[in-house]
Chains A and B, each alone.
Chain A
Amino acid sequence: MPDSARPEIEESASAALDYIWPAEGLARIPDWVYTSQTIYEREVERIFHGRCWNFVALEAEIPEPGDFKRSFVGPTPVVVARAMDGAIHVFENRCAHRGAEFCRPYRGNAREFVCPYHQWTYDLTGKLAAVPFRRGLAGEGGMPQGFNLEAHGVRRLAVATRNGVVFASFAADTEPLEDYLGSEMLEDFDAVFDGRKLKILGYYRNTVPANWKMYHENLKDPYHATLLHSYLVTFGLLVAGNKSAMIVDPTGRHGTMASARSDAVKIDRDSQREMRAFHEDLRLADPRLMDYVREFRSPWSVTMQTIWPTMIVQRELNTLGTRQIVPMGPNEFAMIWTMFGYEGDSDEMLRHRLRQGNLMGPAGFLGLEDNEAMKFVQDGLRKSRDGAAMVELGGTAEGSATTLITEAAIRALYRHWRGVMGV
């Protein structure tokens, strides 16, 4: 049937199935970016298993030889282990024999990993060390003559570290980590990870019923921060008019949302009317929550950094953490939060960080609102057809910005994403 003879409705369905980007360009993001299983599978292949550095651990979680933790690279389970020589290895958590996910505890210390099904045994580097009854029993059975342990370990990933942060890549030819991050990102990354030893304070884990990229977009969307989050607005952490910046690396994939605390913000009446989240009469019974102890070599009191594709570095005043995105198909992802301070923190500083932790996480004053809002968006996309998000704030600019009222960083991200994905 020639195209001209197709009814209009089929035409539009076909455009969605062929993953044709809307004519408006980066001012629109079509729904299939967030809901298509085909797109998701291509993301796993080209992004999570492609030439990217994926955050997998903090070295402080595995300080001793034999220490290990379960982690993920994209959706793929991996083990992060410190070998007896102190080197860190990352390998797939999938037995080379029948595919069992053999490492089950979150963390631990081991000399080797034994798959419980048939006891195939791997060393701390992921090399296959032993196969029971490899030579058979009484001259019968066993593996074929030419079976080579060396050739049948679990899949091992490239590893890179910077100041105690561990990244892994399925691709052997990913650019050096420092080049991957770029100088714009390293400045704020190094302010948090400045070489001081980290002290792990604990973990949160939650699912978000939304596409994993929405978490990046949320942190490249300073517009929402001034509107959705009363805590930011009311207590002067981030309001329209504060000194702030959205910093984007030249590739468009990473970003830092930064702001400088303003202690005596006077919000004019016009801005108040624009911000329903502003509550002039709201006062904290315990204002310690919003105290800021200056401890970083940075002009910013808040930096929220998205390191493509799976890491967020949170420095919200003095509450610090990494967040790891674990995609679970197009419509859901898990988020693993690792909260930390520094070795040598005083007891009062430790408790200050814990108190301020109430801002973040799936029960945090800011964190819960983000998760709720993302669920609202995915519900909207899942339950309708052939729609597109409108991303026009700030016109057609892409990349860094000093105003909060722009979506330029989201457009820059999709310039990059479309290039990698070929759509």
Chain B
Amino acid sequence: MLRYILKRTGGILITLFLVSIFIFLFIRMIPGDPARLMLGEKATPEAIQAITQQYGLDKPLVTQYVIWMKGVLVGDFGTSLRTKMPVLYEIGLRYGNTMKLACLAILWSVVAGLIIGIWSGTHASKWQDYTGITVSVLGQAVPEFWIGLMLILVFCVKLKWFPIVPTGTLRGLILPAFTLGAYMMSTVARFTRSSIIEALKEDYTRTARAKGLRERTVIYKHVLKNSMIPVITIVGMQFGVMLGGAVLVESVFGYSGLGLLLIESINYRDYTMLQTLVLIFSLHFVVINLLVDVLYAVVNPEIRLD
């Protein structure tokens, strides 16, 4: 098991290394002199010269990459072009907000998705199933930014149940988390449903039933256990979609998180902030996928042999 984890971690490290090169080149592709970008419009030629040397901008690309990487590894991501404050400081202020939102969204969507999926799967082709399918199909087709607006209109403006701008309290987070989780909920429901339907056809189910076990026991003890594996995978895979969705949801609700920060930095062309944010998003994505793979291997030992 340990070997498997190490192997997968190694693979992730290689990917992250490549990702960092990608982001590095990405920033070089932006037109304009980075020193000028850093110092602003009124910088004197001497100051620009100084920064160019300090950051080694006149050195070959490889050297520049090494310099940048050295900084990143000790946590020096540079200074925001917009606020002149360290990038990590600004990100730190908002990181928790996005995580709270994402975790809440995952929590409700997985729970609701499982319930709907099990319900649908065990009542295939009955009205329960059709209801479940309809909900999950709709959940995947409705854009976050639109459903968010509609929810605000109904629940905040008309009914006044929730504050309009989320303040970080649980009550304020309900609507954004609901919006963000809708897509994941649908996906989880769909996969649970089809997994269960498949598992119900398997031999072990028939055996269990033949033994005279109660249907409830069959479902929860045998069917569910075996149908969880694809569901775990999909949760991991959907995490990335969710990070993207967070950008939209935060923008709709005016919730101050990393997504909103990303939009602001793009608007202002705050490239140091932008590259760090993109790196952080991809780091999360990759690490979550690793965790999912490991969990997957825990549940299903055969995978490790791959």
Whether both chains belong to one complex is answered with no
A-side residues, CB < 8 A to B, are: none
Q: Give the A-binding residues of B (Cβ under 8 A).
A: none
